[in-house]
A = this chain, B = another copy of it.
Amino acid sequence: MHQKLKLYNTLSRKKEAFEPINPPFVGMYVCGPTVYSNVHLGNVRTFTSFDILYRYLKHLGYTVRYVRNITDVGHLVNDADDGEDKIGKKAKLENLEPMEIVQRYTNDFHEVMLRLNNLPPNIEPTATGHLLEQIKMIKELIDLGIAYEVNGSVYFNVRKYNEQYEYGKLSGRNIDDLIAGSRTLDGQDEKNDSLDFALWKKATGGHIMRWDSPWSEGFPGWHLECSVMSHKYLGKTFDIHGGGMDLQFPHHECEIAQGTAIHDTEPVKYWLHTNMLTANGQKMSKSLGNSILPDQLFSGNHSLLDQAYSPMTLRFAMLQAHYRSTMDISNDALKAASKAYHKLMNGLRIVKELRYDESVNADQNEKAIQQINSIADGIYRGLNDDLNTAVAIAGLFNMQKKLNAIQIGQLQPESLDKPTFDRMVNVFIEITEDVLGLFEEKPSNVEVAIDLVLEDYKVAKSNKDYDKVDYIRAKLKAMGLSVKDMKDRIEWAYEE
One complex includes copies of this chain to the number of: 2
The reply on A466 being an interface residue by CB < 8 A is no
Q: A residues 441-485 with Cβ under 8 Å of B?
A: 442-446, 448-450, 452-453, 456, 472, 475-476, 478-481
Which residues of A in the span 82-122 have a Cβ within 8 Å of any Cβ on B? 97, 99-100, 102-104, 107, 110, 120-122
A106 to chain B, nearest CB (A): 8
A102 to chain B minimum Cβ distance, whole angstroms, is: 8
Instruction: State whether B132 touches A103 (Cβ < 8 A).
Output: no
The binding surface of chain A is classed by DSSP as helix
Tell whether, in the assembled complex, residue A103 and residue B131 are in contact, meaning their CB atoms are under 8 Å apart: no
| Per-position 1/0 for A105-146, Cβ under 8 A of B | 001001000000000111111101101110010000000000
Interchain CB contact under 8 A, B132 and A120: no
**Is B97 a contact partner of A123 (Cβ separation < 8 A)?**
yes
Report the stretch among A294-302, A340-348, A419-427 that lies at the interface.
Answer: A340-348
Q: Which residue of B lies closest to A408 (CB)?
A: B486
Interface contact B478-A452, CB-CB below 8 Å: no
Complexed CA–CA distance, A132 and B340 (Å): 52
Interface residue A356 (Cβ < 8 Å from any Cβ of B)? no
Is the pair B99, A233 in contact by a Cβ cutoff of 8 Å?
yes
Which chain B residues lie closer than 8 Å to A103 at the CB level?
120-124
Known A-B contacts A212-B136, A479-B443, A481-B443; the reply to A342 vs B496 at CB < 8 A is yes
Q: Which B residues lie within 8 Å of A251 (CB)?
A: none
| CB–CB A346/B493 < 8 A | yes
| CB–CB B480/A452 < 8 A | no
**Is the CB–CB distance between B478 and A445 below 8 Å?**
yes
A211 contacts chain B at the CB level, 8 A cutoff: yes
0/1 string, A342-366, CB within 8 A of B gives 1: 1101100100000000000000000
Residues of B with C-beta under 8 A to A486: 408
A453 to chain B, nearest CB (A): 5
Contacts of A349 in B (CB 8 A): 493
Cβ contacts A to B, 19 pairs, < 8 Å = A65-B97, A97-B122, A97-B123, A99-B125, A104-B122, A107-B120, A129-B129, A133-B211, A342-B494, A343-B494, A345-B494, A409-B487, A443-B446, A443-B480, A443-B481, A449-B450, A449-B453, A449-B475, A452-B456
A interface residues (Cβ-Cβ under 8 A, vs B): 65, 97, 99-100, 102-104, 107, 110, 120-126, 128-129, 131-133, 136, 211-212, 233, 339-340, 342-343, 345-346, 349, 408-409, 442-446, 448-450, 452-453, 456, 472, 475-476, 478-481, 486-487, 493-496
Beyond A65-B97, A443-B446, 19 additional pairs, beta carbon < 8 A = A97-B122, A103-B124, A126-B126, A132-B211, A340-B496, A342-B480, A346-B494, A346-B496, A443-B450, A443-B479, A443-B481, A448-B475, A448-B479, A449-B449, A449-B452, A449-B475, A449-B476, A449-B479, A452-B475
The 10 tightest CB contacts between A and B, nearest first, are A449-B449, A342-B494, A129-B129, A443-B479, A343-B496, A446-B446, A456-B456, A346-B493, A99-B123, A452-B453
